[in-house]
């Protein structure tokens, strides 16, 4: 008797679950569900939140302005998001669940290249398009996958505009150090930067790879000091950059300039370092201004204001990239006039529209190409200084010694 009633439990639970899921389906309006797995906890959560927040803000705004019209029918957008806990394997499982169990319509991306690299295999296998604004590594787009699209500028060219600037500053740096973390994105950056430095005639005296999440940069900094390196280019993560700058100060290492792939454009970086953030160069493919127009927010400035008002912190290019992913999907849905993922995929590939982030038009490999603007922290504020060809504002170069600030 007991064993019989025990056997009934799974059935009862199953029926209950079915009843619950039926009731939610009945209650909802016609909805297009966008699925994503993002780092909400774990070591990448600090940047992951940009994507969750940007996705949600863009979806809310688009719904508020009437949603999406497909084949004469009006749909609302919904976000189904999982926390991958900064674990790549979990992220792949969650994307598999999104497409196979949750039956989402289209995919948004995770943050970071190594995640996008792994997760794009899921979108490719199930032939569900994924537009992602968190992975820039050239590796993601080198595989001729048809269902992955990227809205970050190619990693290999992150330092392109910085190198162009180095040829115009006076004095031109006599020696350059290239340091990079050993992950997919930063290795791509280094592989793209190395030939550009050589082509520009800049002398690479250090070319060093360090472990991701390294916290001790004393050895590298001592070498920079001992070799009297003029310009230091670092491709790494925000936590590493923070340690790098703090240790540079404590070892009194002040090259003529240093530049970092990440960190500098984000508000947290400036907050955590205070005055020590000054003079740091970085790059961004996006600055909130009135020239970047879109259909829903008006322009990038209004997007930034709405973002700050809702979440209490400033968006950086990660957030703008994430919001443009939602816009790219919506534009493609309306253009394809169908929910069929294959038709939407073709419409995404043919995208050509202005977003709050910039012009969205994907190359043949699925990646967008945007110019990087060189930025610098000056007196605690982020200033654009070089647009790839000419100076926009005066660059503070060379950097003074730590005692001379």
Partner 1 sequence: MDLLLQILVNGILQGGLYAIMALGLALVWGVLNIVNLAHGAFIMLGAYISWYLFTYVGIDPFLGLPITACVMFAVGYGIQRGLLNLIARAPMFNTLLITFGLEVVLTYMAQLIFSADFRTINPVYAGSSFTLGHLTIPAVRLAAFGVAMVLTLAMWYFLLRSRLGRAIRATAQNLVAARLYGVEPRHLYAVTFGLGLALAGAAGGLYGTVSQINPYIGATLTAKSFAIAIIGGLDNPLGVIVGGLFLGLIEALTALYIGPTFSDVASFGVLVLVLIVRPSGLLGRTA
Which residues of the shown chain bind partner 1 in the complex (CB under 8 A)?
41-43, 45-46, 48-49, 86, 182, 208-211, 213-216, 218-220, 222-223, 225-226, 238-239, 242-243, 246-247, 249-252, 268, 272-274, 276, 402
- The DSSP H or E segment spanning 233 is strand 231-235
State in angstroms the smallest separation of the CB of 236 from partner 1.
11
CA distance 210 to 216: 10
Is the bond preceding residue 50 a cis peptide, omega within 30 degrees?
no
Of the two residues 105 and 270, which places its CB atom closer to partner 1 in the complex? Answer: 270
State in angstroms the smallest separation of the CB of 242 from partner 1.
4
Q: CA Rg, the chain, in Å?
A: 23
Of the two residues 313 and 391, which places its CB atom closer to partner 1 in the complex? Answer: 313
Q: Percentages helix, strand, coil for the chain, rounded to the nearest 5?
A: 45, 20, 35
Of the two residues 70 and 233, which places its CB atom closer to partner 1 in the complex? Answer: 233
The DSSP symbol for 307 reads H
Of the two residues 120 and 193, which places its CB atom closer to partner 1 in the complex? Answer: 193
Of the two residues 21 and 250, which places its CB atom closer to partner 1 in the complex? Answer: 250
Of the two residues 60 and 208, which places its CB atom closer to partner 1 in the complex? Answer: 208
Pairing of strands 293-294, 298-299: antiparallel
Edge-to-edge strand order for the sheet containing 231-235?
A: 204-210, 176-181, 231-235, 257-260, 281-284, 373-378, 381-386
State in angstroms the smallest separation of the CB of 223 from partner 1.
7
State in angstroms the smallest separation of the CB of 182 from partner 1.
5
Of the two residues 72 and 274, which places its CB atom closer to partner 1 in the complex? Answer: 274
- The DSSP H or E segment spanning 50 is helix 45-64
H helix intervals, 266-380: 267-273, 300-311, 317-336, 341-349
State in angstroms the smallest separation of the CB of 365 from partner 1.
29
State in angstroms the smallest separation of the CB of 229 from partner 1.
13
- Phi, psi of 177, deg, nearest 5: -110, 135
Pairing of strands 73-83, 68-70: antiparallel
State in angstroms the smallest separation of the CB of 163 from partner 1.
23
């Amino acid at each position: 008797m007991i064993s019989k009633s025990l056997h009934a439990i799974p059935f009862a639970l199953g029926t209950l679950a079915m009843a619950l899921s039926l009731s939610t389906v009945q209650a909802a309006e016609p909805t297009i569900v966008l699925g994503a797995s993002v780092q909400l906890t774990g070591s990448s959560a600090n940047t992951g939140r940009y994507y969750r927040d940007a996705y949600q803000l863009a979806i809310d705004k688009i719904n508020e302005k009437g949603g999406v019209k497909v084949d004469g029918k009006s749909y609302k957008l919904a976000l189904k998001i999982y926390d991958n806990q900064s674990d790549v394997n979990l992220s792949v499982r969650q994307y598999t669940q999104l497409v196979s169990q949750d039956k989402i319509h289209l995919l948004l991306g995770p943050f970071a290249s190594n995640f996008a690299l792994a997760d794009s295999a899921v979108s490719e296998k199930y032939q569900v398009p994924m537009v992602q604004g968190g992975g820039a590594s050239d590796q993601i787009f080198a595989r001729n996958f048809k269902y992955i699209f990227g809205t970050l500028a190619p990693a290999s060219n992150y330092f392109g505009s910085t190198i162009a600037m180095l040829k115009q500053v006076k004095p031109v740096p006599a020696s350059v150090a290239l340091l990079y973390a050993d992950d997919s994105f930063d290795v791509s950056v280094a592989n793209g930067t190395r030939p550009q430095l050589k082509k520009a005639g800049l002398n690479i005296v250090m070319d060093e790879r360090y472990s991701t999440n390294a916290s001790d940069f004393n050895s590298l900094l001592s070498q920079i000091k001992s070799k009297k390196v003029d310009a230091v280019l670092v491709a790494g993560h925000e936590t590493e950059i923070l340690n790098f700058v703090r240790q540079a100060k404590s070892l009194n290492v002040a090259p003529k300039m240093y530049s970092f792939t990440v960190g500098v454009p984000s508000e947290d970086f400036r907050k955590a370092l205070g005055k020590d953030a000054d003079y740091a160069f970085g790059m961004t493919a996006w600055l909130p201004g009135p020239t970047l127009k879109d259909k829903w927010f008006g322009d990038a400035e209004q997007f930034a204001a709405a973002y700050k008002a809702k979440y209490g912190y400033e968006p950086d290019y990660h957030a703008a990239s994430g919001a443009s992913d939602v816009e790219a999907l919506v534009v493609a849905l309306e253009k394809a006039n169908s929910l069929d993922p294959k038709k939407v995929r073709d419409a995404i590939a043919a995208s050509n529209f202005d977003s709050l982030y910039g012009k969205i038009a994907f190359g043949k490999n699925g990646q967008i190409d945007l110019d990087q603007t060189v930025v610098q922290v000056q007196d605690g504020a982020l200033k654009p200084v070089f647009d790839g060809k000419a100076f926009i504002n005066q660059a503070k170069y060379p950097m003074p010694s730590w005692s001379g600030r």
